Amino acid sequence: MKTLGIREVRQRYQVLKETLEREGEVILTHHGKPFARVLPWTGESKRERLARRSQELAEFRKTLPFQGTPSEVLIREDRDARG
């Protein structure tokens, strides 16, 4: 992750663009203190991102093994075994 000073960004915009392409994200600083994180534009709306992540999560859940015994039964058995 690269940091750039705001003065450098103002004077040489191309540096920000090139660094963003190379690094994937840039932290902007003012007097040495970070104040913003710049990420590349994906062209994807928030609604589209959420729909994609929801679909990815659903696919992941399908890969998990099914638990035949309910968790409350397992917890009760564990507590009873401890005495």
Beta strands in the chain (DSSP E): 2-5, 26-30, 33-38
Which pair of tokens denotes residue 59? 């696919």
d(CA 69, CA 66): 9
pLDDT at 77: 95
Higher pLDDT: 34 or 8? It is 34
Q: Are 45 and 19 within 8 A, CB to CB?
A: no
Interval 54-64: pLDDT, tens: 999 999 999 99
Count each helix (H run) and each strand (E run) in the chain, helices first. Answer: 4, 3
Fold of 1-61: YefM-like fold (3.40.1620)
Domain boundaries in the chain? 1-61
Task: Output phi, psi for 45, to 5 deg.
Answer: -75, 165
pTM: 0.45
pLDDT tens for 35-77 read: 888 888 878 888 998 999 999 999 999 999 988 899 999 999 9
